[in-house]
Structure 1
Amino acid sequence: MYDYLYIDIDLQDNITDNIQKIFLENNIKFKFVAEIDSVLKNILFLTSNKNKITENCRTIFLLDRDYDLLDCKGSYYIKNIEDIVKIYNKDIIVEWAAEIQFLAQNTLAYSKDKFDLERAERLREISCEMLSYKYKTNSETIKHIFANEVGYQTPKLENRAAIIKDNKILLVKEKSDNRWALPGGYQDVNKSIKDNVIKECGEEAGAVVKPIKIVSLLDYNKHHNYNFPLGMLKIIVLCEYISHDFKYNIETEDSNFFDFHNLPELSTTRTTFEQIQMCFDCYNNLDNWEVIFD
């Protein structure tokens, strides 16, 4: 978590009363400055001026156009000021550990120098030890979850199915938290997106479906309160309903259709209200729907 947010004084008009309320609710301390002229530790600086991006602290760049991110190397970038909340509350140790693991794994994948390989292996161990210390979990458990892959480090991939019938959406009740979510899960090896969606719907909801359209391709960490250290991409797929017959399984304990205005308690690490709304918007505007992606 960062200690303070400095905001470019040129953005003063952008910090509305509503934004200030959000900052207050999330304990974000902020002040306006003209520039950052010295090295500051654990400070964020928000600007929309590329010429003010600085190495003196961590910069957040407010995008005007998507492709502006090409000029933001080494900086965070956001489209909406309220997105600062997630960055401000980020755990820096987890972020450092993830970057160390990323660099170490790529070195292990591509270097031929034995000394580089030894150093990379030790850096990978350090990244696991950092998380072990933070979460009070043994490093072998952390390594299994966090550093057990080979090759270039990439984010995980999850897909979820939007199955709508008679203006109601099919949800499954998760055994892990007794809350409801769109059926889906991690992308399996050697399966296409379509195949994986069909499989997950069958396993979790007992549903037979035909995937017909991508609703969205989202950066999971931007839309959920839980953060994957190495990131995850989330694909939501609109499916044509054929039939369903729920059967006992190890992940879910029920499946049912729900009206948009009468949704059950959601398993928000899997599915949010905004994502369900997005699914209905796509369903009701199928021919003109443009995929939403981060």
Structure 2
Amino acid sequence: MTLSPAQQIALWADALRHMAASGLRFAPTLYDQERYHALQTLAMEMQAYAGGQAPEALEPLRAGVFSHVTPFCTADAAIIDAEGRLLLIRRADNGLWALPGGALEVGETPAQGAAREALEESGVASEPVALAGVWDSRLCGSMTRHHMYHFVVLCRPLPTQPKAPASHAHEVLGVGWFREAELPTDLDPGHVTRIPHAFKVWRGEASAHLDL
């Protein structure tokens, strides 16, 4: 996969973010902490440059995102019904179709997180049945500034669905069910390879994907 200059700068910045966060957590002296804080600031400035933003726009993320030591983890739900239709959402942030999903929360498994995110974004309750795979954001075309591991969990919709609307509907422009041969052409880049593999796992033609 060929990265754009902005994507490569963002990945370099994320590596610096990791070094700075690790250093700030374990630095033994005030001098070391000051140096790692400066490195953290450099990582934020690089990310701002890569995203066409002013550095001060990222300052609110210093304590949360830029102090995070390890790669981030997200979970997507590949919900396929008995007719072979896959649930997709149209994201509000970029207008593209994608699997419902998002960041995992402390205390939940990837399967639980995938089902929760799908319910919040689409209003569809589902049951996890299998792991479709784990993708590295650097290798699957994800449009993200930070290094992530994407868990994709194969799910089936529950026979009884909630009557209340989705709690995070503001994050979604639309919801639809699609057969594999009728997928929208405007898919989010990070989902272009993950969705076909989820269908293969559902049909029993492939095992869980793992980036090596």
Contact 1:170/1:256, CA 8 A, preserved across alignment: yes
Corresponding residue of 1:171:
88
Distance 1:193 1:225 in 2: 18
Gaps of 5+ in 1: 1-82
Residue 219 of structure 1, aligned match among 122, 133, 136: 136
**Correspondence for 1:250 among 170, 185, 194:** 170
Q: Which runs of 5+ in 2 are unaligned?
A: none
Change over 3 Å in CA distance of 1:225–1:193 after alignment to 2 = closer
User: Which protein is bigger by CA-based radius of gyration?
Assistant: 1
CA separation in 1, counterparts of 2:174 and 2:147?
Answer: 29
Counterpart in the other structure of 1:277: 196
Distance 2:130 2:33 in 1: 44
| Residue of structure 2 equivalent to 1:199 | 116
Cα distance in 2 between the residues matched to 1:104 and 1:197: 30
Q: Deviation digits for residues 182-234 of structure 1, max 9, x if unmatched?
A: 11111123322222122112111211211011001000121115242x30000
Q: CA 1:220 to 1:94, structure 2 compared with 1: closer, same or farther past 3 Å?
A: closer
Report 1 or 2 for greater relative contact order, CA contacts < 8 Å, sequence distance ≥ 6.
Answer: 2
Q: Is the contact made by 1:174 and 1:267 (CA closer than 8 Å) also made in structure 2?
A: no
Distance apart, 1:250 and its partner CA: 1.1
Match in the other structure for 1:21: none
Please list, as runs of the form range in 1=range in 2, the aligned pairs for 1:117-132 lying within 5 A after superposition.
117-132=33-48
For residues 216 and 155 of structure 1, the distance between their equivalents in structure 2, rounded to whole angstroms, comes to: 17
> Aligned partners of 2:181, 2:138: CA distance in 1, in Å?
26
Instruction: Using the TM superposition, give the Cα deviation of residue 95 of structure 1 relative to its aligned residue in structure 2, in angstroms.
Output: 4.2
TM-score, length-normalised on structure 2?
0.83
- 1:104 touches 1:124 (CA, 8 Å); kept in 2? yes
Runs of 4+ residues over 6 Å off in structure 1:
none
- The 3-state SS of whatever aligns with 2:191 is coil
Q: Which is richer in strand? A: 1
* Distance apart, 1:254 and its partner CA: 3.0
RMSD between superposed Cα atoms in Å: 2.7
Structure 1 residues 260 and 149: alpha-carbon distance in aligned structure 2, compared to 1, 3 A threshold:
closer
Distance 2:121 2:65 in 1: 27
1:232 aligns with 2:148: yes
Q: Which amino acid aligns with 2:54?
A: N
Separation in structure 1 between the aligned mates of residue 100 and residue 21 of structure 2, nearest angstrom: 32
Distance (whole Å) between structure 2 residues aligned to residue 95 and residue 176 of structure 1:
21
The size of the alignment, in residue pairs, is 206
Q: Return the match for 1:265 from 171, 185, 203.
A: 185
Q: What's the TM-score, normalizing by structure 1?
A: 0.62
**Match for residue 115 of structure 1?**
31
